[in-house]
């Protein structure tokens, strides 16, 4: 009887009620009520709603926030590939705020950034540490930016393994191989030698925006978005 009364009140067919949670959400709260901002736009076809990240994606803006793992990498890679398919010439703007994470997941994002034809502009806000600092440096030349109070940290890769002695030796060799690979990538994007990178990244090295610029990780430190027509169009900082 309760379901029948609800169906009559809402004037909905019974088959749609089966897909609803019980009790039904009334009033129907927008996604912003559970933590994700919701944007409603008026169009000639009526009102359309987007979560804020989808709305930013329409402006060729994506965010890389939090720990870098396979799940985050899959989302970022998919967004980059989608935006390249939409327009392979217009820049993609990636905002980075991450403490770093898994090297292999980060390299998946890195390789995608280099693979696509669309230039990827990187902007650091908050922090870009460890693997995230390489993604910051991997942006298109002249399009790597840092906000004034952001922090950047570089260091050598770290990890651990246990098991049989032979397997430990194999994983140790792989870790050293990844270390050399990462150092060569940092050297390429910062125009430094691998020996300089090795010395700089032997321990945790924290930098502010200007220090990151001098090190070669970013091209400029910006405090305000540039006006349209002066290199600040789209989602660039």
Q: Residue 226 has which token pair?
A: 């540039």
**H helix or E strand, kind and range, residue 214:** helix 209-215
Q: How many CB atoms lie within 10 A of CB 102?
A: 17
Just list the catalytic residues: 130, 155
Q: Give the span between the Cα atoms of 184 and 189, in whole angstroms.
A: 9
Q: What does 2-28 look like in DSSP terms, one character per residue?
A: HHHHHHHHHT--HHHHTTS-SS--SS-
Handedness of CA 110, 115, 116, 120 (dihedral sign): positive
Report whether 39 contacts 72 (CB < 8 A).
no
Q: Give the span between the Cα atoms of 111 and 98, in whole angstroms.
A: 18
**H helix or E strand, kind and range, residue 176:** helix 165-190
């Amino acid at each position: 009887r309760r379901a029948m009364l609800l169906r009559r009140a809402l004037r909905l067919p019974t088959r749609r009620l089966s897909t609803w949670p019980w009790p039904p959400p009334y009033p129907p709260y927008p996604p912003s009520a559970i933590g994700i901002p919701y944007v409603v736009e008026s169009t000639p076809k009526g009102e359309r709603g987007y979560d804020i990240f989808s709305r930013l994606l329409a402006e060729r803006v994506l965010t890389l926030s939090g720990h870098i793992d396979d799940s985050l990498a899959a989302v970022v890679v998919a967004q980059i590939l989608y935006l390249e398919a939409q327009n392979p010439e217009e820049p993609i703007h990636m905002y980075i705020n991450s403490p770093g994470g898994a090297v292999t997941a980060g390299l998946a994002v890195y390789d995608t950034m280099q693979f696509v034809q669309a230039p990827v502009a990187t902007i650091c806000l908050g922090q870009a540490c460890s693997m995230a600092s390489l993604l910051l440096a991997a942006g298109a030349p002249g399009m790597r930016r840092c906000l004034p109070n952001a922090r950047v940290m570089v260091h050598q890769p770290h990890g651990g393994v246990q098991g049989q002695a032979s397997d430990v030796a194999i994983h140790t060799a792989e870790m050293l191989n990844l270390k050399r690979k990462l150092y060569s990538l940092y050297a390429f994007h910062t125009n430094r030698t691998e020996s300089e990178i090795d010395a700089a990244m032997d321990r945790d090295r924290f930098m502010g925006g200007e220090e990151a610029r001098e090190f070669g990780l970013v091209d400029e430190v910006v405090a305000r978005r540039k006006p349209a027509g002066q290199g600040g169009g789209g989602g660039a900082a």
